[in-house]
Chains A and B, each alone.
Chain A
Amino acid sequence: MTVKIRFFARFRELLGTDIMTDVEEGTMFTSLITMVAKKNPEGYAAIFDENGAFHEFVILMKNGKRIDIADAGKTAVVDGDEIAVFPPVAGG
């Protein structure tokens, strides 16, 4: 099955966006983002901490609905999902 990952802002600079990925059924949200982010160590470090957990400020959405990062490890993605991963933009 195929899902689409959309990164925003700083994450987009480091990892690109609109990434179509083939994944096995039952793949969890966290493992999917981990797999894609690992393509760029800097991108990975921007999203995950040294223990492999999402930084607490990371915002996740699945098909326009918010996913709590605490639930991302037990939420499976399904075919056709569009996943958004973004940081709060802080400058002014």
Chain B
Amino acid sequence: MFSEQELERYKRQMMLFGEEGQERLKKAHIFIAGAGGLGSPVSMYLAVAGVGTLTIVDMDVVAGTNLNRQILHYDRDIGRKKTVSAEEKLRELNPDIIIHAIDVKIDESNAKKLVLRADGIVDAMDNYPTRYLLNDVAIAQQIPFFHGGIRGFYGQATTIIPGTTPCLKCIFPKAPPEEEFPVVGATAGIIGTVQSNDVIKYLTGIGDLLTNRLFIWDGMQSHAEELCVERNPSCEACGGIGKNAKTGKKI
């Protein structure tokens, strides 16, 4: 059941997926790994869409250099924990949802426990080692994993359904070196919004997900395209589990 306030808030999107779709959003729990460039638009759009429970995890403190893209955090937040800043903004955006903001570094010892039984994991990380860890948890728990990555004016995104689509390691078996990457906020906005869009479609059960495809954004050319991606049967993370997306046969 929705309150009057909720019915008003969600009116324009319930025109798309009805009260039933909205109910699915309300019952859902999404885990967002990172409250930075991608985590900002992802969490904000999922909050205003009415995803009932959001867990957002980050270990950092807001720095001045974050503010060109991390729109959850304001000038006044410099020096505060990102989780504190994020929770405050998200609660203001939508007081009808539950926000768990957890100030911790995601690592092997806690990843599974943090994710718990979330309905989806959003990759808003800035490094591949943690992404691979979340990819492993997604596979082990059979939870959809919404990947995004940005650098400069370029970005990529794909939606991973464990056991059905390629996993992150099928697509990117080896991590690139870590770097202090250049980026404009708009790139984070575009990729984070693509991720949020897929989460909303997944939860409400409408549209076609960004599965078996790598969405690639070239902001310098204002051009988007996609590359088909396939499962690697010998993938060290997911090889041998589930079934082929096209044939439905076990691999």
Interface residues, chain A, with chain B CB atoms under 8 Å away: 8-10, 12-13, 55-57, 59, 61, 64, 66, 84, 86-92
Contacts and interface: CB of A to CB of B under 8 A. Distances in A.
B36 A92 contact: yes
Interface string B200-220: 000000000000000010101
Interface stretch (B23-31, B105-113, B168-176): B168-176
Determine which residue in B34, B181, B227, B230 has the highest number of CB atoms from chain A within 10 A of its CB, and name it: B227
B183 interface: yes
Contacts, number: 76
Interface in B200-248: 216, 218, 220, 227-228, 230
Top 7 A-B pairs ranked by shortest CB distance?
A: A89-B149, A91-B181, A92-B126, A88-B172, A9-B154, A57-B174, A56-B174
B218 A89 contact: no
Nearest to B230: A66
30 contacts: A8-B154, A8-B216, A9-B156, A10-B151, A12-B154, A12-B220, A57-B175, A57-B177, A59-B171, A64-B228, A84-B227, A86-B216, A88-B172, A89-B151, A89-B155, A90-B126, A90-B127, A90-B175, A90-B176, A90-B179, A90-B181, A91-B37, A91-B149, A91-B183, A92-B38, A92-B125, A92-B126, A92-B148, A92-B150, A92-B188
Interface in B152-199: 152, 154-156, 171-172, 174-179, 181, 183, 188
Interface of B: 34, 36-39, 123-128, 148-152, 154-156, 171-172, 174-179, 181, 183, 188, 216, 218, 220, 227-228, 230
Contacts of B181: 90-91
A12 B126 CA distance: 21
B128 to A, nearest CB: 6
Contacts of A86: 216
A92 B124 contact: yes
A44 B172 CA distance: 20
Contact of A90 (B39, B128, B220, B228): B128
A12 B123 CA distance: 24
